Structure 1
Amino acid sequence: MGMLILVAGLVLFLGMHATRIPNDQRRSGMIARLGKNRYRTIYTVVSIIGLVLVVYGYGQARLDPVFVWSPPAATRHIAALLMLFSMILLAASFVPSNHLKAKLQHPMTLSVKLWAFAHLIANGTLADIVLFGSFLVWAILTFKSARKRAIPMGFTGDGPTKVGTLMTVVVGVLAWLVFAAWLHVHLIGVSPFSR
């Protein structure tokens, strides 16, 4: 039952976040038909329901895991290192005026891609493969679609700065340390550095 709930959640959550992948006209058409505020409301509500189902379904699936493969212990350490870069990329999407955002254009999507890949190599249950594999495929397709649209980031002022880039790295590293040392084990129940 947990797997069905997980899959349903992924369909809702990633489905809502994939409306621009085929082409931007589909999303624009929906906004034109529904109106911007109504579209945003539906988008938000469906995304929240999907996310809740993903979290609940994954939690339930972990109670009765189906093991597909047994990852070597080293993959956890590799995943922890990849997560450091993922957190820096995530920070790059929020910290203003940084070179990473200017260069990569879509650091949050790249962050999700790294997050999904890192967790995919370090976990071997069917639920892990479905969850992280789905997010990895979504991130790859979304990044490719976004690059095709070539949407400029629209920096204001003088553009990216060394200070902005340094702050991005600092924020990313701090977030990684807090999550790896404390939050991950409290939220997920697994220490990233355990064997």
Structure 2
Amino acid sequence: MLILVLGLVIFFVLHSIRLVAPQWREKSMAVHGEIRWKMRFGMITLIAFGLIILGYTQVRLEPVWLWFPPVWTRHLAGLLVLVALFFVGSALVPHTTMKKKVGYPMLIAIKIWAFAHLISNGTLADVIIFGSFLVWSIVSFAVYRRRDRKAGVVRDQESGVQFDLAAFTFAMVSWFAIAFYLHQAIIGVSPLV
């Protein structure tokens, strides 16, 4: 459990820098260079993910069950993950409608993904992982939206159907890859069973 918690702490501390110290982040990027900053950020993120996966794999060997979710929650989770992947695509593809309307589609994707996994898993480790991601994404979204309103940010960039279709295509391809291969290969659990 310690490895899992350590991975989560590293991940959330790193990904909360922009949330709690945006000026320090910008100053550090200016001093060290944006590419070097992003490379360090990416490497530490990979280490954190590695610790989370390793810790989860270890904890899963002796699960502490809090509840036993009904089978239908797995089907609902699969659908919700598809929706979450659409928001991921909307964050990655420029000029999407979701990016224009909500500003932070990646945080919405994390909320949906975490909620989907919370309702379909019932162990203590699942609650720790997905509950912490859900709380972090809710807080981050609220802070960023409040900050944008205070700064008078207006998202008036053009959006088009072709960009939304690209996000949808990303979601479908990603969902099939995750459902039929990646989830089993990385996590060790097939979401289709």
TM-score (norm 2): 0.85
Q: CA, structure 1 residues 173+149, in 2 after alignment: closer, same or farther (shift >3 Å)?
A: same
Residue pairs, 1:39-118, within 5 angstroms: 40=38, 42-118=40-116
Instruction: Single out whichever of 173-182 and 54-63 deviates more from structure 2.
Output: 173-182
Which residue does 2:8 correspond to in 1?
Answer: 10
Q: 3-state SS of the aligned residue for 1:67?
A: coil
Which of 16, 19, 36 aligns to 1:21? It is 19
Q: 1:123 aligns with which of 109, 121, 124?
A: 121
State the partner residue of 1:164: 163
- 1:15-43 Cα offsets, whole Å, 9 max, x none, are 110123335345446x2896445655553
Residue 115 of structure 1 and its aligned partner are, at CA, apart by: 0.6
Q: Greater shift after overlay, 124-133 or 48-57? A: 48-57
Contact 2:87 2:109 in 1 (8 A): yes
Q: Which residue of 2 aligns with 1:133?
A: 131
| C-alpha displacement of 1:65 | 1.2
Separation of aligned partners in 2, 1:136 and 1:16: 16
Give percent identity, aligned residues only. 39
* Cα distance in structure 2, aligned partners of 1:73 and 1:193: 11
Residue 172 of structure 2: aligned partner: 173
The one-letter amino acid of 1:176's match is W
How far apart in 2 are the matches of 1:49 and 1:186? 18
The one-letter code matched in structure 2 to 1:55 is I
Structure-2 separation of matches of 1:117 and 1:61: 20
- Unmatched 5+ stretches in structure 2: none
Kept in 1: contact 2:77–2:117 (CA 8 A) = yes
Instruction: Quote how far apart the aligned CAs of 1:116 are.
Output: 0.7
> Deviation of residue 45 (structure 1)?
4.0
The AA in structure 1 aligned to 2:159 is P
Query: What's the offset of the Cα at 1:136?
Result: 0.8
Cα separation, 1, equivalents of 2:122 and 2:169? 32
Deviation, structure 1 residue 181: 2.5
Contact 1:20 1:145 in 2 (8 A): no
Alignment CA distance shift 1:28-1:154 (3 Å): farther
Structure with greater proportional helix content:
2
Question: For residue 116 of structure 2, what is the amino acid of its counterpart?
Answer: A
Task: Give the count of matched residue pairs.
Answer: 188
Match of 2:182 in 1: 183
Q: For the aligned residues, what is the CA RMSD? A: 2.3
